[in-house]
Amino acid sequence: MPRHRESNFELLLKAPWWISAALGVISFATLRWGFPVWAGDANARQMIAKGVSPLAPLPLLFFALIAVGSFLFAKKRSRLVDEQSSLEKLRETGWKDFEYQIAEMFRREGYAVDYSLGRGADGGVDIVLRQADRKVLVQCKQWKVFSIGAPVIREMFGLMTAEQADEAIIVTTGKFTRDAQEFAAGKPIRLIAGPQLLALMQSVKGSTLASGAATDSPVPSGALPKELARDAITCPLCGKPMVQRLAKRGSNAGNQFWGCSTFPACKETRS
């Protein structure tokens, strides 16, 4: 299931703004001073200086505009996460902004994030996460699909197998049916329902780095919204929300457990 080939413009727009800024400076310097220096004789240098050097500001302006767009896009993604305070607000978010929101949340957890701009899901996969040698497929379900059933989980499990991914994650602002939960049990499939999603958003809120280096203070259980207090499990060590994970090795391989959402900063687990 190949993903759409993205243009260089899209790749630069998702990259940090300083990459485009650096490319602009390099392009300007190359056209303004590099080509004349590399020319063999004085006549050639003079011709290049007259024909090429005046064009030097054009790529600088082009990359500067991309850098501004990249900076504003990064600010938007951060704002989408930092301004979330309730499930209702999450459900009111547009479907594409919801994907950006989820991508930014996982980026702050330490993943390298791959997603598309302006297009829908690639055959059911909205986001691809990478961390070390692990590959994780993510599907986002907005408020219009309030209850996620087993067929969606089966389809994602098939995609995960076909893509040889290590894990699949289905994120929704709603909930999962009992059949969906039973199918996911014992498989490398992580189900994140509305209350857990909001808890994860709260855990990375205000952070610009991966969770292991986050500077935001722990969220005390008493400060969580009421709907969170009913459904989320709070880490007894750091006070951050805990999420369901699947043991892949050791005597408990194949069993699900609760792990701190700030892992590897906090390695507390609960059965």
CATH 3.40.1350.10 matches 84-217: yes
Q: What span, in angstroms and rounded, lies between the C-alpha atoms of 91 and 175? A: 12
Contacts of 82 (CB under 8 A, 6+ apart): 205, 206
pLDDT at 231: 43
pTM: 0.66
Tens-digit pLDDT profile for residues 204-241: 887 654 433 333 333 333 333 443 333 446 676 666 67
Q: How do residues 157-166 score in pLDDT, each as one tens digit?
A: 999 999 999 9
Q: Bridge partners of 63?
A: none
What mean pLDDT is predicted for residues 171-184? 93
Are 246 and 238 in contact, with CB atoms under 8 Å apart?
A: no
